[in-house]
């Protein structure tokens, strides 16, 4: 016979399933809304078998037919509107996510939970769903009371992850491109006034930026101040050794090829930083001369191609460090940034679906002195293969930046280059940290 234990705060009783409901009524003074069940300690194999049997025997359903039960350190929720049979919530996770005033500060959105307690969270004394079927209420072994909106639980739990991904994919989807099928007119373009005065303008620009890795604002006054206003509408100027909003003409002021007139093949910037800038902003304030077209390459599209053609090269470039450096002794600068050429989202498989960042700047590579000596040749083979893909002219999107057009480029995905030019070319621009830009995208509902 299956024995269940019903526990009240501070007092435990062993009862049979038949009296459970009556006892609950007496304890709460109202009709029970869900189960108060706790399987006694058993070995794991017994528990697994019991879990299967108990699914129908031990469950009391509450309002809206929400059913709760305990199983091996988890609260299992069956909700008629959740597209999973059983939603498992670790008790430690539930404890950690209590939003009562002792555990969470609503005004600062910060936790106050003592995380040292989380490895030994005991079974709760009581748990139920409230009378409207919207809130899970738990009384823990020490009398602490937690309440969770079931909606919040679904939206923030592991079990809702797939659902969240589906919702996210309906908001925007990354669109891979190359120069054969995509041109500058395919990039999202938002007029300055709409961008500066409406959230919808910001949303359109951000959506285009996330989708294609680049987007433009038109009708901007050709000044550094107006460029800065564009930047600050969606983030913060990231200060570097080049300044905040930088300005340059081809005068060789910095020890960098970008400050010359020669062609620059596509690359990403800041491979010499621990975290390369997330966004590159350019504004051509004036150009009296020829050439100087900007080239863009979708690095992620090239990485998809590399993964398909040469998965071993892709794997190697995802693993072997490739440091970049920036040296300017006159300013006592020697920056070194390390990391693999290809990076993926934390915890995800190293595959194109989970791409996070491409660091690619052959010009700025530091002396290669880390990694396995036996892999050196394989690394050059893989890096060369990737370079062939990234520098394939058919991948390049070309555009002539003109005064009034500000372009934002995802420096973790899209490479930029520049054709050689003549005459006086006056540029300004800025870097932005990725976190700031993603924060803004979240503020207009584009990131869940
Ligand atoms: Fe650059
Ligand atoms: Zn709490």
What's the length of the chain?
A: 448
User: Read out DSSP for 7-49?
Assistant: EETTEEEEE-HHHHHHHHHHHHSS---S----PPP--HHHHHH
Position 372 scores a pLDDT of 87
Q: How many Å separate Cα 100 from the centre of its chain?
A: 27
Position 370 scores a pLDDT of 83
* Ligand 1 center from residue 292 Cα (angstroms): 13
Q: What share of the chain is helix, strand, coil (3-state, %, to 5)?
A: 35, 25, 35
Q: Single out the residue of 292, 287, 294, 301 nearest to residue 266, CA to CA.
A: 294
Q: Near ion ligand 2, which residues have CB within 5 Å?
A: 98, 100, 102-103
- How far apart (Å, rounded) are the C-alpha atoms in residues 313 and 380? 10
Position 261 scores a pLDDT of 87
Counting ligands in written order, which one lies closest to the CA of residue 142? 2
The 10 Å Cβ neighbour count of residue 274 is 10
Counting ligands in written order, which one lies closest to the CA of residue 242? 1
The C-alpha angle with vertex 342 and arms to 271 and 446, in degrees rounded to 5, equals: 90
* Ligand 2 center from residue 96 Cα (angstroms): 8
**Segment 193-205 mean pLDDT:** 98
* Ligand 2 center from residue 112 Cα (angstroms): 9
Joined together, the tokens standing for residue 254 give 């910095």
Percent of the chain with pLDDT over 70: 84
Q: Is the pLDDT of residue 111 over 50?
A: yes
Position 256 scores a pLDDT of 63
Counting ligands in written order, which one lies closest to the CA of residue 95? 2
pLDDT digits (tens, 9 = 90+) for 74-88: 999 999 999 899 999
**Segment 158-179 mean pLDDT:** 92
- How far apart (Å, rounded) are the C-alpha atoms in residues 144 and 122? 12
The C-alpha angle with vertex 436 and arms to 435 and 438, in degrees rounded to 5, equals: 65
* Ligand 1 center from residue 257 Cα (angstroms): 9
**pTM of the full predicted structure?**
0.83
Q: How many Å separate Cα 188 from the centre of its chain?
A: 22
Position 1 scores a pLDDT of 29
pLDDT digits (tens, 9 = 90+) for 361-395: 999 999 998 888 889 999 999 999 999 999 999 99
Contact by Cβ (8 Å): 429, 282: yes
* Ligand 1 center from residue 246 Cα (angstroms): 13
Position 351 scores a pLDDT of 97
* Ligand 2 center from residue 134 Cα (angstroms): 18
* Ligand 2 center from residue 61 Cα (angstroms): 25
* Ligand 2 center from residue 11 Cα (angstroms): 21
- How far apart (Å, rounded) are the C-alpha atoms in residues 63 and 129? 7
Least confident of 8-22, 53-67, 94-108, 230-244: 8-22
* Ligand 1 center from residue 417 Cα (angstroms): 7
Joined together, the tokens standing for residue 310 give 């040469």
Contact by Cβ (8 Å): 280, 420: no
Stretch (H or E) spanning 356: strand 355-358
Contact by Cβ (8 Å): 232, 432: no
* Ligand 1 center from residue 280 Cα (angstroms): 8
pLDDT digits (tens, 9 = 90+) for 12-68: 222 233 333 333 333 233 333 232 222 223 333 333 333 444 443 334 445 558 999
Confidence class for position 413, pLDDT limits 50, 70, 90: very high
Question: 333-337 and 324-328 as β-strands: parallel, antiparallel, unpaired?
Answer: antiparallel
Least confident of 113-117, 219-223, 224-228, 237-241: 113-117
> What burial class does residue 286 get, using C-beta atoms within 10 Å of its C-beta: 0-12 exposed, 13-18 middle, 19+ buried?
middle
> What burial class does residue 136 get, using C-beta atoms within 10 Å of its C-beta: 0-12 exposed, 13-18 middle, 19+ buried?
buried
Position 162 scores a pLDDT of 87
**Segment 207-234 mean pLDDT:** 98
pLDDT digits (tens, 9 = 90+) for 254-283: 556 667 789 999 999 999 999 999 999 999
Joined together, the tokens standing for residue 315 give 């794997």
* Ligand 2 center from residue 121 Cα (angstroms): 13
**Segment 160-187 mean pLDDT:** 92
Q: Give strand ranges (E) for 130-185.
A: 135-139, 145-149
Contact by Cβ (8 Å): 282, 430: no
pLDDT digits (tens, 9 = 90+) for 420-434: 999 889 999 999 999
Contact by Cβ (8 Å): 261, 250: yes
For the chain, the average pLDDT equals: 86
Tokens 């057009």 correspond to what residue? 405
* Ligand 1 center from residue 342 Cα (angstroms): 18
**Segment 396-403 mean pLDDT:** 96
């Amino acid at each position: 016979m299956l024995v269940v234990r019903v526990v009240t705060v501070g007092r435990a009783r062993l009862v049979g399933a038949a009296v459970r409901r009556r006892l609950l009524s007496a304890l709460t003074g109202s009709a029970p809304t869900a189960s108060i069940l706790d399987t006694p300690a058993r070995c794991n194999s017994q528990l697994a078998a019991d879990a299967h049997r108990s699914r129908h025997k031990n469950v009391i359903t509450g309002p809206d037919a929400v059913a709760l039960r305990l199983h091996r350190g988890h609260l299992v929720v069956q909700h008629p509107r959740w597209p999973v049979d059983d939603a498992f919530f670790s008790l430690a996770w539930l404890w950690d996510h209590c939003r009562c005033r002792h555990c969470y500060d609503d005004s600062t959105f910060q936790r106050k939970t003592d995380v040292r307690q989380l490895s030994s969270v005991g079974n709760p004394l009581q748990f139920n769903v409230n009378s409207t079927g919207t809130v899970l209420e738990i009384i823990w072994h020490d009398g602490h009371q937690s309440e969770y909106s079931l909606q919040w639980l679904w939206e923030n739990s592991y079990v809702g992850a797939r659902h969240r991904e589906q919702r996210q994919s309906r908001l925007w989807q990354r669109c891979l491109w190359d120069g054969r099928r995509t041109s500058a007119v395919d990039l999202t373009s938002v007029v300055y006034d709409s961008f500066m005065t409406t959230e919808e303008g910001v949303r359109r620009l951000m959506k285009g930026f996330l989708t294609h890795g680049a987007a433009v604002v038109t009708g901007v006054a050709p000044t550094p101040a107006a460029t800065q206003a564009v930047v600050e509408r969606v983030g913060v100027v990231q200060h570097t050794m080049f300044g905040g909003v930088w300005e340059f003409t081809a005068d060789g002021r910095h020890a960098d090829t970008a400050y010359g007139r020669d062609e620059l093949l596509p690359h990403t910037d800041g491979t010499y930083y621990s975290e390369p800038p997330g966004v590159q902003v350019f504004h051509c304030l004036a150009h009296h001369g020829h050439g100087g077209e900007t080239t863009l390459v979708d690095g992620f599209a090239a990485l998809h191609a590399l993964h398909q053609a040469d998965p071993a090269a892709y794997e190697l470039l995802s693993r072997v460090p490739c440091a970049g450096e920036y040296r300017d002794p006159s300013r006592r600068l020697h920056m070194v940034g390390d990391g693999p050429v290809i990076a993926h989202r934390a915890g995800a498989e190293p595959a194109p679906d989970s791409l996070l960042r491409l660091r690619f700047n052959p010009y700025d590579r530091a002396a290669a002195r880390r990694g396995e000596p036996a892999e050196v040749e394989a690394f050059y083979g893989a890096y060369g293969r990737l370079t062939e893909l990234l520098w394939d002219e058919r991948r390049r999107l070309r555009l002539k930046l003109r005064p009034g057009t500000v372009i934002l480029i995802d420096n973790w995905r899209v490479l930029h280059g520049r054709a050689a030019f003549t005459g006086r070319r006056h540029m300004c621009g800025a870097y932005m940290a990725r976190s700031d830009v993603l924060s803004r995208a979240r503020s207009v509902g584009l990131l869940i």
